Amino acid sequence: MMPNIRDYIRSIADFPHEGIIFRDVTTLFADARGFRMAIDQLLHPYAGIPIDKVVGLEARGFILGGALAHQLSTGFVPIRKKGKLPGAVISEAYQLEYGEAVMEVHDDALKPGERVLIVDDLLATGGTAEAGIKLCRRLGAEVIGCAFVIDLPELGGRAKLEQMQMPVHVLTSFE
């Protein structure tokens, strides 16, 4: 039988904290068929839709985003954690489980009116993706969708993004 994307995702108990089941995509990325299946499935809804740039969220969104941008023949733009990008940036703070973090993008990375697809490995509370959407919108870009390999629906990220009128595409979810 054809393998499912879930078969390639490893679950590790009690990482990084006791009680968390960490959904590890390194096993998906390491498998030739698994990685290709993930890229093909992430792109499926966007066939025939114009996209100017793929935006990847640090860190695993870079791996997926590079492959998606290559397949779509678009450029790739990284959104990084505070202090990592060398040029002039704009910043957005977002809530973590404990405290706050900041995401940044180069202030010239997207042009007004550019149509972008945001990608990451996993959607949990949606805080990271929301910060990414806000950064793209502040540069005048139009975010046409957000794509993730994994959704954790209990954490409410998908509902949060859909409240921002954002189409969300996920390949699989874990309760």
SS3 63: helix
Q: Which of 21, 30, 93, 159 binds ligand ADE (CB under 6 A)?
A: 21
Residue from 59, 84, 93, 140 binding ligand PRP (CB under 6 A): 59
Task: By CB under 6 A, tell whether 122 contacts ligand ADE.
Answer: yes
Residue nearer to ligand PRP on the CB measure, 60 or 106:
60
Sole binder of ligand PRP in the list 9, 37, 54, 57 (CB under 6 A): 57
The residues with which 54 forms a beta bridge, in sequence order, are 76, 117
Tokens of 140: 């005048």
According to CB under 6 A, which one of 3, 20, 33, 44 is a site residue for ligand ADE? 20
Q: Answer for the pair 76, 54: CB distance below 8 angstroms, yes or no.
A: yes
**What is the Cα–Cα distance from 9 to 23, expressed in whole angstroms?**
7
Choose among ligand ADE, ligand PRP, none what residue 21 binds, the Cβ cut-off being 5 to 8 Å by kind. ligand ADE
Query: Dihedral of the CA atoms 104, 92, 169, 36 (nearest 10)?
Result: 20
| 170: β partners | 148
Helices assigned H by DSSP within 90-145: 127-138
Element (H, E) at 119: strand 115-123
Of 51-59, 68-76, 136-144, 164-172: span binding ligand PRP (CB under 6 A): 51-59
* Residue nearer to ligand ADE on the CB measure, 21 or 30: 21
Residue range at the interface with ligand ADE (CB under 6 A); choices 16-24, 31-39, 43-51, 69-77: 16-24
**Is position 60 annotated as part of the catalytic site?**
yes
Residues annotated as catalytic are: 60, 97
